[in-house]
Structure 1
Amino acid sequence: MKFRRTAVAGVAVLALALLSGCNDGQAGGQGGDGAALEKVNYLTSFNTFGREAYAYVALEKGYFKDAGFDVTITPGSGTVDVLKLVAGGQADYGIGDFTATVITLGKQKLPVTTVGMIHQRSLAAIVALEGGKISKPEDLPGKKIGDQPGSTNTLMFPLYAKAAGIPSDQTKFVPNPPPALPQLLAAGTVDGIGQFVVGVPLVEKAAKKKAIVLPYGKLLPDLYGNAIITRADLAKDHPDQVKRFTGALLKGLQDTIDDPEAAAQTLKKYVPNTDVAVATEELKLMKPYVKPDDFSGPLGDVDTARVQKVIDAVKGADKEVNPALTPADVVDGALAPKG
């Protein structure tokens, strides 16, 4: 099935073509058992910020190759675009925010499913600056928030607003490209920006001020963060491949949270404009979202009962979401990591 893609998604498609073979550290050759490597295209959730380093760690350390894959990593352009590109076959695996995935799949049928979680807690947040107009959720009505059109933070805002007891339609989201957001906030052009919690070091570096962070997860603790997404046909017809790929990616994630600075250095090898100090701080902030203090499951764990809670919350905040949506429509529980 063909999908009409946004201009941003079109750029991602072009990038897939241009970058194919660029990750030559593991390109071609054979796996550990001598078999030919399977070519796989992977999309990050968004760009190549420090939070995406784990895929490059898996590539650099040979985890993908050991699992039988020749992986090309391409910068993603947000959850909705990642979903559509994976659904349309332009990528085999991708990363997207789970709640945004539930919202999207609750409004349109796409042949994709979730097979594991990167973050056990949501990273979504509204970020402002000390001394500005926003210091608490009750300050948000009447304010301007800069964000990428269709971003995770924008999609999820009605859910957050309901939890905060504020009207969602009185906060104006101003469309802006993500690279410009920290500068717009620093200049006072907007009152806040949609941002992941781990993006705070980059914001503070640009603004030269301390950030005020309103994390969605504080009011909505059941929300997951980013999830591993693949096509429904791959999950159904090639479950072993999915498990091998997910396992290799999660090995990279474990190494990344164990040694954030080394992971940031690895990211810089593949993405030369990486600011290692900022990327390292991002990854340090990310660790408790990957493995919260009260979490005892395996890395990547998916709790079906919790997925149902997320679905129920989304339905309660967005009446356009299909009321018949179930966990099986968004997650393949049989392929998620098990303890």
Structure 2
Amino acid sequence: MRFRRSAAALVAVLALAVVSACNNDKAGQNGDASLQKITYLTSFNTFGREAYAYVALEKGYFKDAGFDVTIKPGTGTVDVLKLVAGGQADYGIGDFTAILITMGKQKMPVTTVGMIHQKSLAAIVTLEGGSIKGPQDLPGKKIGDQPGSTNTVMFPLYAKAAKIANWETTKFVPSPPASLPQLLSAGTVDGIGQFVVGVPTVENADKVKHRKAVVLPYGDVLPDLYGNAIITRSDLAKEHPDQVKKFTSALLKGLQDTIDDPDGAAKILQKYVPDRKVEGSVKELNLMRPYVKPDGFSGVLGAVEVSRVQQIIKDLEDAGQITPAGSVNPSDVVDRDLAPKG
């Protein structure tokens, strides 16, 4: 009897050890040890612009690459960086300019392994009939924006490139992101910091007057700026480069399908996020398409050019957003071996 009890106890211990080992190896859900469990963070919430990750999930691209992926909504670049750096997520999406600025202030064990957008989505958005019709109208105006956002921190560089006189008199009013469209519609602010893909949300919020948005894209005068980037932990990139390449490839495959078929992508997103309406997502994705593959871009999807990264760093130094004297180097923020090239 004692032997049986000991044997049973040993079996229980071994079973627990097996489960623990599987968890440590991040085995896939449903007991499928052939799939590696991965946590992925969107850049911000689950707007239509994030549909490509759900497309890769729905079409089995992640599974084919050997991954069981859990998609979670991100809450902005800085938070995504911290969660990836701390191991709470394996991959995430963040605005590349914000990544550089953050890394210039605080080194983190993260690296960029691909670009979602070859052109920055950052912009100042207002409504037709207002006091802002172009960049030269910005001095003296109130711009609502989240503190520390890309639109705010990059404004000096944008103003310089757009040759805006007295741009220092433009006042950025700290405002929560969710309230920005309503503040603009109510006339509380003259404009807001917003990604260009947020235009449908801005216009939808102006339900009384039904005005069209007036968009001042930073990328029009700062063509070197990238938009959102794919990030992962530095140790993951170093120790498991094949995994990183497979994951990035699967995600970018979902991105390609998304820009090829925005309507299909929007329907897939709604399947996973029911309150995300198809029509609004399609509008966002159509606006996003030329930023994934801008006019004149002939490179591969997700490509990163080190020389371009160096230029962005220099521009940020000139704008006072990064301390000069080599505080940030391309190798600090981009894995040249893993990021798509060409």
After TM superposition, the score normalised by the length of structure 2 is 0.87
Cα displacement string for residues 234-290 of structure 1 (whole angstroms, at most 9, x for unaligned residues): 111111111011001001000000000110111111111112111101101111111
**In 1, Cα distance between equivalents of 2:150 and 2:141:** 19
Q: Paired residue for 2:337, among 322, 330, 334?
A: 334
SS at match of 2:84: helix
- Identity of counterpart residues, as a percentage? 74
Cα displacement string for residues 185-208 of structure 1 (whole angstroms, at most 9, x for unaligned residues): 111011111111111111112212
Offset, 1:176 = 2.0
Q: Check the 8 A contact 2:139/2:169 in 1, yes or no.
A: yes
Cα displacement string for residues 82-105 of structure 1 (whole angstroms, at most 9, x for unaligned residues): 111111111111101111111111
Offset, 1:175 = 2.1
**In 1, Cα distance between equivalents of 2:75 and 2:114:** 20
**In 2, Cα distance between equivalents of 1:67 and 1:28:** 17
Q: Paired residue for 1:246, among 225, 248, 252?
A: 248
Cα displacement string for residues 35-69 of structure 1 (whole angstroms, at most 9, x for unaligned residues): 52111111111111100000011111111111111
Corresponding residue number in structure 2 for 1:190: 189
Offset, 1:119 = 0.5
Corresponding residue number in structure 1 for 2:202: 203
Matched, 1:119 2:117: yes
Q: Check the 8 A contact 2:305/2:341 in 1, yes or no.
A: no
**In 2, Cα distance between equivalents of 1:123 and 1:69:** 30
**In 2, Cα distance between equivalents of 1:334 and 1:139:** 44
| Root mean square deviation, CA, Å | 1.5
CA 1:28–1:69 in 2, change beyond 3 Å: closer, same or farther?
A: farther
Matched, 1:106 2:98: no
CA 1:46–1:190 in 2, change beyond 3 Å: closer, same or farther?
A: same
Corresponding residue number in structure 2 for 1:273: 275
AA of the residue aligned to 2:281: A
1:1-339 residue pairs with structure 2 within 5 A?
27-28=29-30, 30=32, 36-166=34-164, 167=166, 169-207=168-206, 208-318=210-320, 320-324=322-326, 325-338=328-341
AA of the residue aligned to 1:251: K
Structure 1 portions without partners, runs of 5+: 1-25
Corresponding residue number in structure 2 for 1:9: none
Name whichever of 119-128 and 162-171 sits farther off: 162-171
Q: Check the 8 A contact 1:78/1:152 in 2, yes or no.
A: no
Corresponding residue number in structure 2 for 1:10: none
Offset, 1:170 = 2.3
Offset, 1:338 = 3.8
SS at match of 2:154: helix
CA 1:73–1:52 in 2, change beyond 3 Å: closer, same or farther?
A: same
**In 2, Cα distance between equivalents of 1:168 and 1:58:** 43
Q: Check the 8 A contact 1:107/1:322 in 2, yes or no.
A: no
AA of the residue aligned to 1:327: P
Offset, 1:319 = 5.4
AA of the residue aligned to 1:333: R
Structure 2 portions without partners, runs of 5+: 1-27
Q: Check the 8 A contact 2:49/2:285 in 1, yes or no.
A: yes
AA of the residue aligned to 2:337: A
**In 1, Cα distance between equivalents of 2:301 and 2:310:** 20
Offset, 1:73 = 0.8
Q: Check the 8 A contact 2:51/2:268 in 1, yes or no.
A: yes
**In 2, Cα distance between equivalents of 1:161 and 1:85:** 32
Cα displacement string for residues 171-229 of structure 1 (whole angstroms, at most 9, x for unaligned residues): 22222222211111111011111111111111112212111100000110111111001
Q: Check the 8 A contact 2:101/2:321 in 1, yes or no.
A: no
Q: Check the 8 A contact 1:79/1:152 in 2, yes or no.
A: no
SS at match of 1:222: coil
Q: Check the 8 A contact 1:29/1:37 in 2, yes or no.
A: no
**In 1, Cα distance between equivalents of 2:246 and 2:323:** 33
Corresponding residue number in structure 1 for 2:20: none
Count matched residues.
310
Q: Check the 8 A contact 2:237/2:244 in 1, yes or no.
A: yes
Offset, 1:135 = 1.3
